[in-house]
Chains A and B, each alone.
Chain A
């Protein structure tokens, strides 16, 4: 969506500058560069700094920021605002993310573009509230009930918190779906440098607008166009099973089948377009050992791979930028000649199970809980134990 004059004027003060800021703040600035119009949230460590910065800055860019009564309402508000044509976002952490699940399902079912930021902290429940974790990887995938697909991206640096939130807004608009930025308390709460881009260099994706309200939830395309409120046409939006025109039909099996399979397929069939990974392969030798990681864990993981190579060991590395949909083709290809794949992550092995499904080699989970990320040495030791 094109930025209006208010936003351009606001962003012109930021573009091209380098800031030394928190990952949370970078996420908030990224959203502003994405043309965020509406934010609704409820404060929670370690995500509060996102809402704090947006509350002070978004009104200056002509947008609206509301502190809601809770996370359920926050999620509901961004879905409603999305139907007015606004780019919308909320930000939370694990406990709040749990509360949002019902309305994330509503956003999926109503095909409402929006961005949900989850700065993961150590749980379950209040757990180690101020400590980082990556415990919501599967909650992001399956937290809401029913058959569905989801898009989730995981930044591993402060710069990437900025860059990926921009991408989240585009993916949300292109696929008409909620998109999750799966940060962690580590990248959220460190400060690093962020270079703000030139506004003119950013190309924002646009939402498709339907010609007729009869095709807002169906028709020929996997992703139908929307009709925004205020555009002059009536459109019925419901979380119940509905026909292409949005009207409820909760009894005809075929109607449910067509709707849910299309909503599922619009992400599944575009998997290769959505998925992004970064690989660092040891070209000189044929590695038999590989490391797959993501988010904050990917940094010490990559450091460990470099350290092992410095000792003459051959190790390949893959970082998942997109967590969901899972990079099954890329991971299978990466692992085709590997005997052992290590998966360091700040949980008890949530993504390593997904890796197992798509590789023939042995998958070794390198779990870490307790609120302190793996050190380079810890992952290095795990690599050296299996590498020849």
Chain B
């Protein structure tokens, strides 16, 4: 089983770290992971991309060829990469940062308020961790326990509680979205 994940955003939204935490959770789960990133020269505002491949076999190619899961927090990122998702893939898009004329025809599409959820917790900086919670709930690619542990080991103590709350909020957001989808399918 191999999962190719791609996070796209503007620089500063924390998706490189999100990818790293996802990878750390995977190896803690005992499966292989490779994470890579690309970003512009700006520390904030340029295009940023973070990719994680999780597999129980050797990972021959360290980058995403066709994503099983795309997470988009920026309009240009979404526009550029929405066409490179597997037909049965999962697409998670921020409801307030990315405008969608029409959801993509294939795959499971989720338009969720990641940044708004972070705002409600008092700091938009934890948007990336809200995203991780939702990705975990929806894809099940890594265990919730190990992902929460990865969040813990990567955030400064002062912000630990805020980040763990963000993770839980994100997880609930994902679970509810999943339930709605299942209900709709019935």
Q: Which residues of A contact B (CB under 8 A)?
A: 18, 20, 130, 186, 189-193, 296, 299-300, 302-304, 306, 372-373, 375-377
Contacts and interface: CB of A to CB of B under 8 A. Distances in A.
Contact of A191 (B35, B58, B60, B61): B35
B61 A303 contact: yes
A130 B36 CA distance: 13
B61 A375 contact: yes
A156 to B, nearest CB: 10
B61 A20 contact: no
22 contacts: A20-B33, A130-B38, A186-B62, A189-B36, A190-B34, A190-B62, A191-B34, A191-B35, A191-B36, A192-B23, A192-B32, A192-B33, A192-B35, A193-B32, A296-B62, A299-B59, A299-B62, A306-B60, A372-B63, A373-B63, A375-B61, A375-B65
B125 to A, nearest CB: 22
B33 A303 contact: no
Contacts of A130: 38
B149 interface: no
B133 to A, nearest CB: 19
Contacts of A306: 60
B32 A299 contact: no
A186 B63 CA distance: 10
A305 to B, nearest CB: 10
Given A20-B20, A20-B33, A193 B61 contact: no
Interface of B: 20, 23-24, 27, 32-38, 58-63, 65
Contacts of A296: 62
Contacts, number: 53
Contacts of A192: 23, 32-35, 59
Contacts of A372: 63
Given A20-B20, A190-B36, A190-B62, 13 more contacts: A18-B27, A20-B23, A20-B24, A191-B23, A191-B33, A191-B36, A192-B23, A296-B62, A299-B59, A373-B62, A373-B63, A376-B60, A376-B65
A2 B23 CA distance: 35
Nearest to A377: B65
Contacts of B63: 372-373
Contacts of A303: 60-61
Contacts of B24: 20
Contacts of B33: 20, 191-193
B60 to A, nearest CB: 3
